[in-house]
Amino acid sequence: MATAAFPWIFVALYYMFVLLPDIYWSSGEAWKENLLLSRFAAPTSAGILFTMLAAAGLKASWVYKKVQVLAIFDDLDTILLMIPLQIMMVGMRWQLGVIILIVMVLLTLGWKKMGSYNMRQDWKAILLYAVITLAITQGVYLVSKHFYGEEASIHIEVLLPAFVLGMIMKHKHIDTKVEHNVATAISFLFMFLVGVSMPVFFGVDFAKQSAEAATITGAQPMMSWPMILLHVLVVSFLSNIGKLFPLFFYRDRRKRERLALSIGMFTRGEVGAGIIFIALGYNLGGPALMISVLTIVFNLILTGIFVVWVEKLTRSAYQLEMAEKQLEK
């Protein structure tokens, strides 16, 4: 959980004390808005990371197995913590109570029934499970929206039921060319949809937007592009520094492997983008929103470099381990 908490805290403090004037430093509203918006820095893009590490031939490595656990828990931690953050923003509504109850039931089910069900796990079955899960979560949202309106709707993040479904299934390893091709195609499609869903920043009257904004972050004047890009670099650095926490643990593993594990957590994507969409729903905007979006994009561009770096560190650690075993013989 620390790999999710530290990037979030670093970025939230940066947004508060660097992006906002000092008159807002003691403002509860400003803290609430920035704690919510900066949450995009917490999750690791599990889908992107697993696909690229597997393509690099690292499925059997300790780094791949460990990063699977940490990345998923980062995303799960992010979704669970969004509940109290949303309560801070809108107050305790009965709809949020329903969401908390559903989350507790799902986590209890996943824990008690872990690995209990022998279900099909080829790509057709997985795609069917995904469609059913999405249909249920969207169905709950649309029905509640119809009866209670957009603001009082019940929106369950799809990652949680998908995560629990994976928990209760007995794992089967299916490694065929067709499975790889379908997984790659779906990954490409997914990231394309994430990209086209990002807010538009070109051709927008930012002065008019800030004048009409009802939030502190949205009311801040827009910065110049060079200043925006500078903040993107700093926020990227802070969010990735926060992911280096595993370096201080797993002392039984080589430092190279621990560093590879930490760098593997640098990737951002789908869940971070989801946080941006939630922030937009609360009318958060201004320079902080633009910096957040561009930071995700920048990290996506760097993903290939991160994976190559992880691969080199992991392979060098493996070669050292093999050399030591040869010397022992």
Q: Is residue 158's pLDDT more than 80? A: no
CA distance linking residue 212 with residue 86, whole number of Å: 23
Give the rounded percent of residues in the chain with a pLDDT score beyond 70.
Answer: 88
CA distance linking residue 239 with residue 236, whole number of Å: 5
CA distance linking residue 145 with residue 132, whole number of Å: 20
Structure tokens at 258: 């621990």
Q: Is residue 175's pLDDT more than 60? A: yes
Q: Fill in the DSSP letter of residue 117.
A: B
Tokens 């969409």 locate to 277
Q: What is the mean pLDDT of the chain?
A: 81
CA distance linking residue 3 with residue 5, whole number of Å: 6
- Identify whether the C-beta of residue 9 lies closer than 8 Å to the C-beta of residue 242: yes
pLDDT at position 197 is 65
Q: Which whole number is the average pLDDT over 177-182?
A: 81
Q: What is the dihedral of CA 148, 36, 34, 249, to 10 degrees?
A: 170
CA distance linking residue 216 with residue 167, whole number of Å: 41
- Identify whether the C-beta of residue 47 lies closer than 8 Å to the C-beta of residue 183: no
Q: Is residue 9's pLDDT more than 60? A: yes
What are the structural domains, with CATH classification, of the chain? 2-195+210-324 (1.20.1530)
Q: How confident is the model at residue 132 (pLDDT cuts 50, 70, 90)?
A: very high
In the beta sheet, which residues pair with residue 188?
Answer: none
- Radius of gyration, CA atoms only, the chain: 21
Q: Which whole number is the average pLDDT over 188-198?
A: 71
Q: How confident is the model at residue 212 (pLDDT cuts 50, 70, 90)?
A: low
The conformational region for residue 43 under phi > 0 = left, psi -120 to 50 = alpha, else beta, is beta
Q: Is residue 68's pLDDT more than 80? A: no
The region of weakest confidence among 140-144, 152-156, 171-175, 255-259 is 171-175
Q: Is residue 69's pLDDT more than 60? A: yes
> pLDDT digits over 234-269, tens only?
999 999 998 888 888 888 888 888 888 888 888 776
pLDDT at position 302 is 86
At 169 the three-state DSSP class reads strand
Q: Is residue 89's pLDDT more than 60? A: yes
pLDDT at position 297 is 84
pLDDT at position 207 is 60
pLDDT at position 210 is 62
At 202 the three-state DSSP class reads coil
Sign, CA dihedral 188-65-236-77, equals: positive
pLDDT at position 234 is 96
Q: Give the DSSP letter string of 210-221.
A: HHH-SSTTTTSP
